[in-house]
Amino acid sequence: MSIRPRTTAERMARFQRDQETHRRISLARRSHERFRRDLAVVPHLFLLPGRARMAALQQPVDAVRTALRAEAIWTLDTAARLLTGLGLVTSPDLTGYMTESTFDRAVEQGLIGTPTAGGLTIDPLYHRPPMLIAHLADDPPPSTTLPSGDRVVTWQFLIRDIFGTLGWRPDLLTRLEARRPPAGVAPPPV
Amino acid sequence: MSQPDRLEVLELLRRIQASPLADRLILAGSSGVYGVSATIPALTEDVDVLVDADWVSVEEDKVLEHMRQLGFQHQPGTPTFTSAAGLSLDLVGYSCRDVADRIGGGKALPVMVFADLSRLLSLPGSTRELPDGGRTLSPATLAAAKLLTIRLEKGGKDKLQALLVIAENAEDEDFREHLRGLLAAFPADRIEDAIADAHAALLAVAADVIVAGPQAAGYAGMHQGLEQGLTILQLLAGFAGEHS
């Protein structure tokens, strides 16, 4: 690689090229109706190292969800399915906030297996057994309780979690919001 | 070329202050982070200093001579000067005459002139004196400049530094009001793009945090600062609380 500094003319050409590329990126973002509204979101990192744990389910997904119902606050794909009947990703995992003792108890009770060391993602590009993916939190996020007894993060926090875990996905967010139950209307039965 | 550390940059500014170029050169770019913070990483391989490009066009020969006396050799056709010690210094232009992206300066010393910097430098409180000599962009002006900078090859570095400067000055009411005023001086779509770019940069760091794992503990504190900076930026730009 040359260590010759770029001439001013070369810098100007590069600057103009970057400006043009950025203009196209800007237009692509703005082609989504929700662009401006989503600027208000502060992404939340659900898969924060040191906080996130993952272990394979040892029982059917509904049995594990029901067993943890009183202690977990579901988010991401699990919350989306509970709230709208439609998930975000194809991997049939449970994703939620809980305390470390709840997670440990799930292991002891045989609901989940030994926590895995790697592969922490909610959107794997390979097939794997259904997992419980937990964000261990002593200070739980804001939540609401559904008629089923399941607790899910608030809608606003769900958007933050999606943003911080899957990136800005206007396609997913728009699809999700289109199925959001109106206030006072129960979500689809689980 | 060597990576300049903070002490080296501040010492260079002291030397400039003692030269005829005093008050003509303003520390900026990523090296400008050294002028406003002792903790935020500058992550730079050179020193950027702002200069009035219209003044350079008139005083070109003198600028070259003063830089030579400071120990810097000019690289022909570029705005770059290098020292025997390996320090690289770039002149970055602004103009008091117009607000346009163009090439200015002189034939021997052409410099890029940036419209955004010209606008920012025309506003009150854009620079400040360093305690030990030399001028630097003020924290709010540096943050605004970095938010508005478009350099695709540098990824989100400028945006991350801006968010960290905002977070570091979060409790300073004067800083917040200054930054609010600077943001208001630009068209709304520029600020929207800046926030969207900051979002993208923050998400890239989030991906890094996840990949790096628990052993990269330094990321956790940085990520908190970035979140705080983004929250304040959204508030100052009028985008907080629109989602429900």
For residue A5, what is the enclosing H or E element?
none
What would the pLDDT profile of B11-25 be if each residue is shown by its tens digit? 888 899 899 998 899
* Residues B124 and B143 grouped into a single domain: no
Point out the residue among A11, A18, A39 whose CB comes nearest to the CB of B150: A18
| Higher pLDDT among residues A126 and A133, named by residue | A133
* Residues B153 and B99 grouped into a single domain: no
Neighbouring-strand partners of residue A107? none
Tell me how close the Cα of B209 comes to any Cα of chain A, in angstroms. Answer: 7
Asked if residue B140 lies in contact with residue B35, where contact means CB atoms within 8 angstroms, the answer is no
Q: What CA–CA distance (Å, rounded) separates A120 from B106?
A: 56
Q: What's the number of domains chain A is made of?
A: 1
Q: What CA–CA distance (Å, rounded) separates A145 from A80?
A: 14
Contact criterion met (CB < 8 Å) for B110 and A8: yes
Domain boundary among B91, B109, B137: B137
Domain annotation covers residue A36: no
Per-residue pLDDT at B139: 97
What would the pLDDT profile of B180-221 be if each residue is shown by its tens digit? 999 999 999 999 999 999 999 988 887 776 666 655 666 767
B242 — pLDDT class (breaks 50, 70, 90)? low
* Residues B98 and B167 grouped into a single domain: no
Domain annotation covers residue A7: no
Calculate the average pLDDT of chain A. 92
* Residues B77 and B113 grouped into a single domain: yes
* Residues B131 and B155 grouped into a single domain: no
| Higher pLDDT among residues B44 and B49, named by residue | B49
What would the pLDDT profile of B91-111 be if each residue is shown by its tens digit? 999 999 999 999 999 999 999
Question: How far is the CA of B14 from the CAs of A169, B80, B132, in angstroms?
Answer: 49, 19, 7
User: Which residues, numbered 13 to 42 in chain A, qualify as contacts with chain B under a Cβ-Cβ cut-off of 8 Å?
Assistant: 14-16, 18-19, 21-22, 26, 29, 35-42
3 state DSSP class of A114: coil
Domain annotation covers residue A26: no
Q: Tally A–B CB contacts below 8 A.
A: 112
Print the domain residue range for B222.
138-244
* Residues B114 and B177 grouped into a single domain: no
A50 — pLDDT class (breaks 50, 70, 90)? confident
A47 lies within 8 A of chain B by CB: yes
Average pLDDT value for residue range A16-27: 96
Print the domain residue range for A73.
52-178
| pTM for this prediction | 0.90
The amino acid sitting at B110 is P
B2 lies within 8 A of chain A by CB: no
Average pLDDT value for residue range A63-76: 97
What would the pLDDT profile of A70-88 be if each residue is shown by its tens digit? 999 999 999 999 999 999 9
Reported ipTM: 0.90
Chain B residues touching residue A41 (CB < 8 angstroms): 199, 243
The answer to whether residue A174 scores a pLDDT higher than 80 is: yes
Point out the residue among B77, B152, B242 whose CB comes nearest to the CB of A8: B77
Geometric angle at alpha carbon B227, from A180 and B7, rounded to 5°: 165
Substitution target from A4, A20, A42 for chain B, most B beta carbons within 10 A: A42
Domain holding B24: CATH number?
3.30.460
Domain boundary among B107, B137, B167: B137
The answer to whether residue B90 scores a pLDDT higher than 90 is: yes
Q: What CA–CA distance (Å, rounded) separates B6 from B180?
A: 28
User: Which residues, numbered 145 to 164 in chain A, qualify as contacts with chain B under a Cβ-Cβ cut-off of 8 Å?
Assistant: 155-156, 159, 163-164
| Phi, psi dihedrals of residue B24, rounded to the nearest 5° | -95, -25
* Residues B115 and B2 grouped into a single domain: yes
Domain annotation covers residue A155: yes
- Residue holding tokens 């801006």? B162
Point out the residue among A8, A38, A47 whose CB comes nearest to the CB of B111: A8
Average pLDDT value for residue range A115-136: 88
Point out the residue among A4, A39, A164 whose CB comes nearest to the CB of B239: A39
Domain annotation covers residue A101: yes
Q: What's the number of domains chain B is made of?
A: 2
A1 — pLDDT class (breaks 50, 70, 90)? very low
* Residues B125 and B182 grouped into a single domain: no
* Residues B228 and B156 grouped into a single domain: yes
Q: What count of other Cβ atoms lies within 10 Å of the Cβ of residue A183? A: 5
The amino acid sitting at B235 is L
For residue A125, what is the enclosing H or E element?
none
What would the pLDDT profile of B151-179 be if each residue is shown by its tens digit? 887 778 899 999 999 999 999 999 999 99
Number of H helices, E strands in chain B: 9, 9
Point out the residue among B75, B111, B220 whose CB comes nearest to the CB of A5: B75
The amino acid sitting at B80 is T
* Residues B111 and B46 grouped into a single domain: yes
Per-residue pLDDT at B9: 87
**What is the distance in angstroms between the CA of the first residue and the CA of the last residue of chain B?**
51
* Residues B243 and B150 grouped into a single domain: yes
* Residues B156 and B113 grouped into a single domain: no
What are the DSSP calls for B102-152, one per residue? EEEE-SSSEEEE-HHHHHHHTSTT-EEE-TTS-EEE-HHHHHHHHHH---G
Domain boundary among B102, B137, B172: B137
Q: What count of other Cβ atoms lies within 10 Å of the Cβ of residue A1? A: 3
Domain annotation covers residue A151: yes
Domain annotation covers residue A98: yes
What would the pLDDT profile of A31-47 be if each residue is shown by its tens digit? 999 999 999 999 998 98
Per-residue pLDDT at A189: 65
| Higher pLDDT among residues B175 and B2, named by residue | B175
A182 lies within 8 A of chain B by CB: no
Asked if residue B41 lies in contact with residue B155, where contact means CB atoms within 8 angstroms, the answer is no
Average pLDDT value for residue range B230-235: 96
Chain A residues touching residue B151 (CB < 8 angstroms): 18
B204 lies within 8 A of chain A by CB: no
Closest residue in A to B92 (Cα–Cα): A8
Query: β-pairing, A143-145 with B72-74?
Result: unpaired
Average pLDDT value for residue range B31-58: 90
Domain annotation covers residue A14: no
Point out the residue among B101, B189, B240 whose CB comes nearest to the CB of A15: B101
B98 lies within 8 A of chain A by CB: no
Q: What's CA B130's distance to the chain center, in Å?
A: 15
The answer to whether residue B50 scores a pLDDT higher than 60 is: yes
Asked if residue A17 lies in contact with residue B170, where contact means CB atoms within 8 angstroms, the answer is no
